[in-house]
């Protein structure tokens, strides 16, 4: 009943390669453990290279594996040139790259350039006021009129992203250093050319080692606006919680263009993606338009802020309204339609599981909703990023006790909220819905007690549903979430519409249906998805004529198409195509 393009169908791929790619994000600590210490590692990734090839990943993005005290699970780097022993050695890294390259899979490294670990040799040296590294970080004296170290003496009233002041007092030199994240993540001073040159040289060494691209952590924080001044204080914390104080500083484009040029993004044909805190479609365009010579694409988070109180913190839960989600995504599609490029994602290592968050993880809806989230995302215009386990429909962790959590962001929030006297059930519900640990439970490879992740004790608990959700069973089951993603990736690879077709949102105000077209006229694709647990009826008048066509892909078998209407079953999604480059239904 479904018609995929024939195997031999070939399309002219767009250049550069990463516009056609599907990227698979690996959180190494939670992917596969090869030596039984309960922590995933590089040899574990190498062991799973065939699985990644089977899914159809074109590239993997590895969250940081560099030497690190692991305060923020590797986003606190103490040596950019080596591998943390937890994950293996440089030889293990080379073996992993070779195994992935042998299967046509490229390797994207995470680069954390805004800050280092406080245990990095640069920062250690920088603690000494006389050191030539002093200026590599942002040191400031106490606020005027305050005793250094006294309450309120921080140079500005900024909050760190992880809660508490963004300044830490260093008694030895009597000054404070800036850390926009944890106190073990001091911010580098990008105004200093020696800092920039050192980072460029380091990235070139990784390119020489064979890596194919970089994901840049919080890249729009690297240029600060000087002088550093107070912002409006939040009445509860007394700190300025407004990130716009530290975003998109005046030299941001200059710094990124310098990286592009000096690291050689184009010459080395690199995939580059910047994580942009609170990016707008306009800033995304500014930093990704070809002629601006900055980045390939950026991660924006507009669609990740819709299930929280507007203007509030991510912990302030609010119901998601589908029209707002559709409009948020469509806005980005439109803004980057003629130049610039989009990223497409529902998950990463900082976000809850999409099936629990946007879909419905109850047994009767989990598979269908996970598939439909996949259909909806994978056929928009841009480069899709799948996060490990998303292709299995893995769920949130289901933790109920604070002892089960590991992530510093969630633990800090818990301490702070408890200190403020917020009721425990309320705090625990926020953590269960939004905590970053939801995405960090071990990858579920099989139905055994540790899900085939380790022979030891996993570093973090698991949801306990590996009997129903695991790679071994899903690879074998043609109707699994895994095989739906595999089909989507395969279809995408052979469809020029999926790559290039112009995006248009249909039925923007419909509270249950997510529908859009790609392309127009004689060459077009229609994606129509029911994002609800009810059956919904869509009149044929409101849909393009191509619903006559035989569907290309779907989640529920033959569509329920009547004379006047298409009936969509709960979480059903269907893809129709006419006149795609492979010309089947024309
Ligand atoms: O995340 C940046 C970032 O904005 C998050 O800290 C965000 O505030 C939070 O996850 C929302 O819940 C990047 C990395 O992806 C994250 O894992 C790191 O902790 C952070 O930078 C610091 O390096
Ligand atoms: Ca291990």
Task: Write out pLDDT tens, residues 101-128.
Answer: 999 999 999 999 999 999 999 999 999 9
Residue 29 CA: which ligand is closest?
Answer: 2
Query: What's the total number of domains in the chain?
Result: 3
- Ligand 1 binding pocket includes 432 (Cβ within 6 Å): no
Residue range 332-358: mean pLDDT, rounded: 97
Same domain membership, residue 340 and residue 476: yes
pLDDT in tens, 413-446: 999 999 999 999 999 999 999 999 999 999 999 9
Mutate to test the pocket of ligand 1, among 111, 185, 214, 218 (most ligand atoms within 8 A of CB): 218
d(CA 474, CA 325): 29
At residue 1, the pLDDT reads 67
At residue 579, the pLDDT reads 79
- Ligand 1 binding pocket includes 218 (Cβ within 6 Å): yes
Same domain membership, residue 389 and residue 368: yes
Cα 320 to middle of ligand 1, angstroms: 22
Q: Say if 12 falls within a structural domain.
A: no
Residue range 47-68: mean pLDDT, rounded: 98
Same domain membership, residue 231 and residue 159: no
Cα 30 to middle of ligand 2, angstroms: 9
H helices present in 379-442, as ranges: 408-419, 424-434
Same domain membership, residue 531 and residue 395: no
What is the SS3 assignment for 314?
coil
Same domain membership, residue 183 and residue 280: no
Same domain membership, residue 132 and residue 206: no
- List, as one string, the DSSP characters of 26-68: E-GGGT--SSSSSS--HHHHHHTHHHHHHHT-SEEEEPP-EE-
pLDDT class of 59 with cuts at 50, 70, 90: very high
Residue 35 CA: which ligand is closest?
Answer: 2
Q: Which atom of ligand 1 is nearest to the CA of 75?
A: 23
Q: Say if 10 falls within a structural domain.
A: no
d(CA 302, CA 342): 13
At residue 10, the pLDDT reads 58
Q: Which pTM value belongs to this model?
A: 0.97
Mutate to test the pocket of ligand 1, among 161, 299, 302, 440 (most ligand atoms within 8 A of CB): 161
d(CA 309, CA 2): 41
Instruction: Name the domain boundary from 488, 521, 547.
Output: 488
pLDDT class of 250 with cuts at 50, 70, 90: very high
Q: Say if 280 falls within a structural domain.
A: yes
Same domain membership, residue 429 and residue 330: yes
d(CA 157, CA 540): 57
Same domain membership, residue 197 and residue 127: no
Q: What is the mean pLDDT of the chain?
A: 96
Q: Which atom of ligand 1 is nearest to the CA of 301?
A: 4
**In the Cβ-directed half-sphere of 53, how many Cα atoms lie within 13 Å?**
12
Helix (H) or strand (E) holding 101: helix 90-102
- Ligand 1 binding pocket includes 408 (Cβ within 6 Å): no
Instruction: Name the domain boundary from 456, 488, 520.
Output: 488
Cα 113 to middle of ligand 2, angstroms: 26
Residue range 210-217: mean pLDDT, rounded: 98
Same domain membership, residue 278 and residue 208: yes
- Ligand 1 binding pocket includes 437 (Cβ within 6 Å): no
- Ligand 1 binding pocket includes 407 (Cβ within 6 Å): no
d(CA 193, CA 201): 12
Report cis status (omega within 30 of 0) of the bond before 417.
no
Percent of the chain with pLDDT over 70: 98
- Ligand 1 binding pocket includes 179 (Cβ within 6 Å): no
What is the SS3 assignment for 139?
strand
Percent of the chain with pLDDT over 90: 92
Domain of residue 264 covers: 17-116+193-488
Long-range contacts, 410-415 (Cβ 8 Å, 24+): 410/435, 410/436, 410/437, 412/162, 412/163, 412/164, 413/163, 413/315
Q: Assign 3-state DSSP to the chain and report helix, strand, coil percentages, each to 5.
A: 30, 15, 50
Instruction: Name the domain boundary from 488, 523, 543.
Output: 488
Active-site pick, 71, 76, 258, 275:
275
pLDDT in tens, 460-500: 999 999 999 999 999 999 999 999 999 999 999 989 999 99
- 8 Å CB contact between 316 and 413: no
Residue range 535-561: mean pLDDT, rounded: 93
Residue range 524-532: mean pLDDT, rounded: 97
Residue range 156-182: mean pLDDT, rounded: 97
Q: Say if 535 falls within a structural domain.
A: yes
Beta strand 106-111 with 213-216: parallel, antiparallel or unpaired? parallel
* Edge-to-edge strands, sheet with 523-530: 503-506, 513-520, 523-530, 573-578, 553-554
Extract the runs of DSSP E, i.e. beta strands, from 499-563: 503-506, 513-520, 523-530, 536-539, 553-554, 560-561
Same domain membership, residue 437 and residue 568: no
- Ligand 1 binding pocket includes 138 (Cβ within 6 Å): no
- List, as one string, the DSSP characters of 207-249: HHTT--EEEETTGGGSSPPSS----PPPTTTSSB--GGGTSS-
Q: Which atom of ligand 1 is nearest to the CA of 350?
A: 10
d(CA 29, CA 87): 8
- Ligand 1 binding pocket includes 181 (Cβ within 6 Å): yes
At residue 583, the pLDDT reads 43
pLDDT class of 586 with cuts at 50, 70, 90: very low
pLDDT in tens, 258-295: 999 999 999 999 999 999 999 999 999 999 999 999 99
d(CA 578, CA 520): 10
Q: Which atom of ligand 1 is nearest to the CA of 181?
A: 22
d(CA 223, CA 309): 29
Same domain membership, residue 300 and residue 443: yes
Q: Say if 2 falls within a structural domain.
A: no
What is the SS3 assignment for 503?
strand
d(CA 515, CA 55): 25
């Amino acid at each position: 009943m479904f018609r995929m393009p024939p195997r031999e169908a070939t399309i002219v791929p767009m250049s550069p390669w990463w516009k056609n790619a599907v990227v698979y994000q690996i959180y190494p600590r939670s992917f596969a453990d090869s030596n039984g210490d309960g922590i995933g590692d590089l040899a574990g990734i190498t062991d799973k290279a065939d699985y990644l090839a089977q899914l159809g990943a074109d590239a993997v993005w590895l969250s940081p594996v560099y030497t690190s005290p692991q305060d923020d699970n590797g986003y606190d780097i103490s040596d950019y040139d080596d591998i943390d022993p937890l994950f293996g050695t440089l030889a293990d890294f080379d073996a992993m790259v070779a195994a992935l390259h042998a299967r046509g899979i490229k390797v994207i490294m995470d680069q954390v350039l805004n800050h280092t670990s406080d245990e990095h040799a640069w920062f250690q040296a920088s603690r000494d006021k006389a050191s030539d590294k002093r200026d590599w970080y942002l040191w400031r004296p106490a606020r005027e009129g305050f005793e250094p170290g006294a309450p309120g003496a921080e140079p500005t009233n900024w909050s760190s992203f992880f809660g508490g002041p963004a300044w830490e007092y260093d008694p030895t030199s009597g000054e404070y250093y800036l850390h926009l994240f944890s106190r073990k993540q001091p911010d580098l001073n990008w105004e200093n050319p020696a800092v920039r040159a050192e980072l460029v040289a380091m990235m070139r060494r990784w390119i020489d080692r064979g890596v194919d691209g970089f994901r840049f952590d919080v890249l729009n924080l690297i240029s600060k606006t000087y002088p550093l001044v107070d912002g409006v204080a939040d009445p509860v914390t007394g700190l300025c919680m407004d990130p716009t104080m530290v975003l998109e500083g005046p030299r941001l484009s200059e710094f990124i263009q310098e990286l592009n040029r000096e690291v050689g993004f184009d010459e080395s044909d690199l995939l580059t993606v910047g994580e942009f805190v609170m990016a707008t479609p306009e800033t995304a365009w500014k930093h990704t338009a070809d002629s601006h010579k900055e980045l390939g694409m950026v991660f924006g988070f507009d669609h990740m802020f819709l299930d929280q109180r507007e203007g509030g913190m991510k912990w302030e839960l609010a119901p998601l309204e589908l029209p707002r989600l559709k409009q948020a995504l469509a806005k980005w599609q439109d803004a980057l339609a003629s130049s610039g490029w989009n990223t497409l994602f529902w998950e990463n290592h900082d976000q809850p599981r999409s099936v629990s968050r946007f879909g419905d993880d109850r047994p009767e809806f989990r598979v269908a909703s996970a598939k439909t989230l996949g259909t909806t995302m994978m056929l928009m215009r841009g480069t899709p990023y799948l996060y490990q386990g998303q292709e299995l429909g893995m769920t949130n962790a289901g933790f109920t006790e604070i002892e089960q959590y590991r992530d510093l962001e969630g633990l800090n929030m818990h301490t702070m909220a408890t200190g403020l006297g917020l009721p425990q059930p309320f705090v625990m519900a926020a953590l269960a819905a939004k905590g970053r640990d939801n995405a960090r439970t071990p990858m579920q490879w099989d139905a055994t007690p540790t899900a085939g992740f380790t022979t030891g004790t996993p570093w973090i608990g698991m949801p306990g549903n590996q009997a129903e959700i695991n790679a071994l069973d899903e690879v074998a089951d043609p109707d699994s979430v895994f095989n739906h993603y595999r089909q989507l990736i395969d279809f995408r690879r052979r469809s020029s519409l999926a790559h290039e077709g112009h995006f248009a949102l249909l039925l923007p105000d419909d509270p249950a249906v997510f529908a859009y077209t790609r392309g127009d006229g004689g060459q077009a694709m229609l994606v129509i998805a029911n994002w609800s647990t009810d059956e919904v009826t869509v009149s044929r008048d409101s849909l393009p004529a191509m619903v006559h066509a035989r569907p290309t892909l779907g989640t529920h078998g033959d569509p329920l198409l009547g004379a006047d209407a298409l009936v969509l079953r709960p979480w059903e999604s269907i893809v129709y195509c006419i006149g795609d480059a492979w010309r089947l239904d024309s």
